[in-house]
Structure 1
Amino acid sequence: MAPHLSHDEFFSSLTDLLSKTSQKSRGSVYLTQKPMTDADSSNAQPSILIRATDGNTNAPNPKSADKSGKSSRVTKNKSTKVKMSTIVNPGDLEFFYARYAEVCKTGMAGLKKRDRSKRKGKAKAKGGASKTEA
């Protein structure tokens, strides 16, 4: 497991990850946070572990596999999953979250809204067809 990054390294890596993902036509960035509790520590407020990943796995997509079990799409360069994390102490939370929100908002500005009109059109067509048949 890679060591935890400093806050500045984490924010620069997160900015790069969000920009790369928004430039692609597909992709996801998963942001998670969880409290780190120590059995020895009796602190009222624990440190927070912040993680970011691109969700990329090398596992084949079961929907694109043919009957023989081989993937129908061949990828020449398999990219590895990007994982990064940092630990935020209770005293630094306010400043960290202010910058974290700023980086996330900036990274999400390039995203476009999903086009769901095709799905809605198919649902209406199915619903309308069953009503006319009955």
Structure 2
Amino acid sequence: MPAHLGHEEFFTSLTTLLTTTSQKTRGSVYLTQKPLLNTTTSEQPSILIRATDGNTNAPNPKTPQGKKAQSAPPKVKLSTVVSPEELEAFYARYAEVCKAGMTGLKKRDRKKGKAKAKGGAAGKVTKA
């Protein structure tokens, strides 16, 4: 795995990743964070922040075997380490970048799911 990015480089790459994913018709961005535990000290741990595009290089089982699959772009992996002293400033900027990247999201259509639930429940109602 490549070395961790600096905060500014991480934010720039994350902004690019979010905008390119929102411009596609499909796509996901996975954001994860976890503490980096240091067993030698008892102070507050640093936080590892990761972002990936969810792209896997696994072949699609629905693609016919006769057709050659187009070469998929490599999976994008971004990561940075945030020290406890920098957490508050980092999270403020992180929230701004994430909110700006979510403007291209489409609202989920829930009407289809409700119609199925109503139709299925109405057919099973019986009088006692």
TM bucket (normalised to shorter chain) is 0.7 to 0.9
Shift of 1:10: 0.2
Residue-by-residue CA offset, 1:54-107 (whole Å, 9 max, x unaligned): 111122455xx38xxx56986423122111100001111111001000000111
Alignment of 1:71-110 (within 5 A): 75-110=69-104
* Kept after mapping to 2: 8 A contact 1:55/1:81: yes
Equivalent residue number for residue 17 of structure 2: 17
Alignment of 1:34-113 (within 5 A): 34-43=34-43, 45-61=44-60, 65=62, 70=64, 75-113=69-107
Does 2:114 correspond to 1:120?
Answer: yes
* Kept after mapping to 2: 8 A contact 1:60/1:71: no
Distance 1:42 1:101 in 2: 28
CA-based RMSD: 2.5
- Structure 2 unaligned segments of length 5 or more: list them: none
Equivalent residue number for residue 7 of structure 2: 7
Residue-by-residue CA offset, 1:17-65 (whole Å, 9 max, x unaligned): 111111112111111110001122222x111000001111122455xx3
Question: Taking structure 2 as the reference length, what is the TM-score of the superposition?
Answer: 0.84
Change over 3 Å in CA distance of 1:73–1:47 after alignment to 2: farther
2:88 maps to amino acid: E
| Percent of paired sites with the same residue | 63
Bigger helix share: 1
Number of residue pairs aligned between Structure 1 and Structure 2: 126
